[in-house]
A = this chain, B = another copy of it.
Amino acid sequence: MRLDARPIAQSAGPAQFVQILADPVGSPYLRRPFSFLRVDRDAGWFEIYYDVIGPGTRRLQEARPGDAFNALGPLGRVFDPPEGHLLLVAGGVGIVPLAFLAWDHPERRLSTTLLMGANTATRLPDLDALLPADLVRHVSTDDGTTGHAGFVTDLIEQHATPTTAVLTCGPHAMMARVAQITAELSLSCYASLENHMACGFGACVGCVVEYRESDREDERYRRVCLDGPVVDAHGIVW
């Protein structure tokens, strides 16, 4: 889905997201957060990509060309990928922010590898449509219908170098496993979290994640929408 919104497109950076009001009349009531898939800063548009799962995404799906939506963004911190080899580990629509990183840093694509997991082949999104053509990718399915048979996390070790940094986005259980494996391999690891959000602004303190260490009691839980969405995967309690 492509939306024309020059101010948002012009300032959007990797890992940031946009809060979209799916229905101006209030059903569903809250905005829905979506990662950027691609932006064209000159043309002034951005694209999102989503799974239809509930009332909000259903309203978006019903949209027809020319419809207007109220969108707020870009929100969250821009993720600046560290130097060196980057391993992107995606599950489901978690591929979206990772794809945007690849789109937005063409110079990094040669030193980037994407691993994508799904239950079964038919649940895989159309990677050719979502990813730059020159991004190396490896696929796994739990049932072996395509690619590696097993979890996508099985592929991490073989595709990592000692200085690889891992960035993951996907289901909670997958990201937790990525964090664990990268810890065992002593790799740095970042996770792009998709906690449930009310405001997306830092105002409600609802979207928090628990940090392993914090100086003060009130900093034990921190806001994903402001501190993240990308966090150090080894710094939080999974």
Contact = CB atoms under 8 A, between A and B. Distances in A.
A53 interface: no
Interface residues of A, number: 9
A145 interface: no
Contacts of A26: 27
A64 B67 CA distance: 13
Interface in A117-162: none
How many copies are assembled?
Answer: 2
Which DSSP category, helix, strand, loop or mixed, fits chain A's interface?
loop
Contacts of A64: 64
A23 interface: yes
Contacts of A27: 23, 25-27
A55 interface: yes
Interface string A47-86: 0000000010011000010000000000000000000000
A23 B58 CA distance: 13
A60 B27 CA distance: 16
Contacts of A23: 25, 27
A28 B25 CA distance: 8
Nearest to A55: B25
Contacts of A25: 23, 27-28, 55, 58-59
A232 B55 CA distance: 45
A25 B23 CA distance: 10
Contacts of A28: 25
Contacts of A58: 25
Interface of A: 23, 25-28, 55, 58-59, 64
10 contacts: A23-B25, A23-B27, A25-B27, A25-B28, A25-B55, A25-B58, A25-B59, A26-B27, A27-B27, A64-B64
A-B residue pairs, 6 tightest by C-beta: A27-B27, A25-B27, A26-B27, A25-B55, A23-B27, A23-B25
